[in-house]
Amino acid sequence: MAQHAIHALALGCLYALLAAGLSLMSRAQRSLYLAYGGLYLVGAYVTWWTLRSSHPIWIALVLAPLLCGMLGVVLTGIERSVQAWRSERSQLLWGLGILICSMEAYRAIMGTYHRKVIAIDSHQIHYLGPLMLSDMHWLVFGCAFGCGAWLHGFLTTSRPGLALQAGLEDQDGGRRWRGLNPSYVTAALGASLAGVGGGLAALYLNDVHPEMGLRIMHRILCLAMIGGLSNLRGVVLAAFGLACVEGIAAPMMMDLPFPVEVYLLLVLLMVSLWPLSKPELNKKHDASPDRHREVTLDSL
């Protein structure tokens, strides 16, 4: 049980890093950014290709965020250049199309097979009492904590970060800061975090496959249904909670036909629709404005 908790903690750090990047991009796009799964897949593939070419890990963890950051800026520029894509439905369809195209491009280049990413010797295991911690645990903990601490410090204490947050709330105020559009800066930051998360996931899970982007979007939808994506701190806490539930429930659900995140998504969907099945709640909600209106008239 304790070993599963360590695995859940590592997944929580990884999900929190991805959730922070997605929260930034969703705030800039004003909608759920489904293309995030495609950027995550690109980061995993770049990591696999770099290590397969006998390069060290740090090169993979630098190339993945750089390439994904540039792709995020390019995709944002294409989306902003077409005025017809400004609606929320068009943005969702655009992101879904990018996700599907990335999966099909991976299949065309690599095939449908799962690729193993062997970067660190599996025998390098450290014992902490009854717990076993591999080097991949320390790598995920260190990178996720370092990126999260830097992002928090950048957004809350630095002048560019405060100006960026102001620009996300007011686009005009963001453009006046050194002529930078906050949407492009936020897209670069969020896409870079997607690249780092994809690379760490490839290293930690030792697996790269075409469905990586789609499976991470299942978890992202779970996060969106739990606490939304507008609050950065809330979505990070929701990511840790989701990882704990997944890490504990995954060994019990290994024989089921679908991954554990699919069942979590279905449960959250049923819970979100549960108040709609109670007519008395709807009646109370409908009656409350009338009562408020009567009190207002009496007071007049």
**What digits encode the pLDDT tens for the residues 52-103?**
888 888 888 889 899 988 988 888 777 777 655 566 677 677 777 777 777 7
The position carrying tokens 């894509």 is: 85
Give the Cα separation of 275 and 246 in Å (integer): 25
Strand 125-128 relative to strand 131-134, pairing: antiparallel
Question: What element of type H or E holds 52?
Answer: helix 36-52
Q: What is the dihedral of CA 186, 246, 46, 116, to 10 degrees?
A: 180
Q: Is the pLDDT of residue 281 over 70?
A: no
Predicted confidence at residue 164, as pLDDT, reads 75
Give the Cα separation of 106 and 91 in Å (integer): 23
Q: Which structure tokens are listed for 66?
A: 């750089």
* Residue 205: pLDDT band with limits 50, 70, 90: confident
Under 8 Å between Cβ of 185 and 24: no
> What is this structure's pTM?
0.75
Q: Which structure tokens are listed for 136?
A: 């991949």
Q: What percent of the chain has pLDDT over 90?
A: 2
Please state which of the four CATH numbers 1.10.3470, 3.40.120, 3.90.550, 3.90.1570 is assigned to the domain occupying 2-255.
Answer: 1.10.3470
Model confidence over 31-51: pLDDT tens digits? 667 778 888 888 888 888 888
Domain positions in the chain are 2-255, 259-300
Give the Cα separation of 78 and 98 in Å (integer): 12
User: Using alpha carbons only, what angle is made at residue 62 by residues 94 and 111, rounded to the nearest 5 degrees?
Assistant: 55
